[in-house]
Structure 1
Amino acid sequence: MGFLSVILSIILVIDCLFLILLVLVQLPKKEAGAGMAFGGGTADALFGAGSGTALTKLTKYAAGVFFLGAFFLSIVNSHARKQSDLEFRKQVEKAGASAPAAVPATAPTVSSNAPIPLTITSNSVSTTPVAPKVGSNAPAK
């Protein structure tokens, strides 16, 4: 599947470059201004009865190839993704069946019920105890 994906990607890149070239080579129509871009006669220009030069027809075919190639590439990548997911699940199940049972880790226990003093600095919280200053109003231990 990887080979087909690479081939389709190369075809899409070449087709995209060809489409860019075709669009840049074409001359603009005289009536194709800003007003025409918002619906004023564009349907007649696009869907007219066989009107158009060889460049416009070639552009339509190249755009069709691009869309079909993108569609098939998405199908190929979706199929490859499902296959790799199935293979991964099989490997996990095989490794899980052969591995010994894991012993659950025990939580650390606190040896005393004394509270842990916290020191708040500008950016972080520290759990190191701070000795009270001489002459401060801090309670004696």
Structure 2
Amino acid sequence: MAAILLQFPRPEQQGGVAYTVTSTSLGLSNDAITQKAGVNVPNIRIQGQYGEIQVFPPAYRPTQTRLVLKDGTIDYKEWPQPGPGEGSGWYNGYGSSPNPEGQGHGLFWEADDAGRALLEGRKEGQNRSRNRML
């Protein structure tokens, strides 16, 4: 958690110096009990004045998000990981829970892009320039 104390100088006739406190924090939930029960619980919530964004596990490569607005709007999206696709016979993942057929498991497409760049003599990937990454 981080907290910031801000000081705003004002004339005495306006009440003098004003202060405000703002804070931010990061907490991740990875509730094994709910996962074993098959309950889908977000492990990241980004909250603001209009609602919240919920990010579902795993945090390092989320596959689902939900936008929940104060007006009742709910927008749920799935984000499948790139791969050779269904029907390819290719499986990837860790441990006893492989991803669906043909679906990747993270940033392998960036590694592939870096490999192609090296083979072609380029110093940056096709999708991300060095300026964007630095």
Return the TM-score normalized by structure 2. 0.21
> When you count strand as a share of all residues, which structure comes out higher?
2
Q: Select the structure with the greater relative contact order (CA < 8 A; seq sep ≥ 6).
A: 1
Return the TM-score normalized by structure 1. 0.20
| Greater Cα radius of gyration, structure 1 or 2 | 1
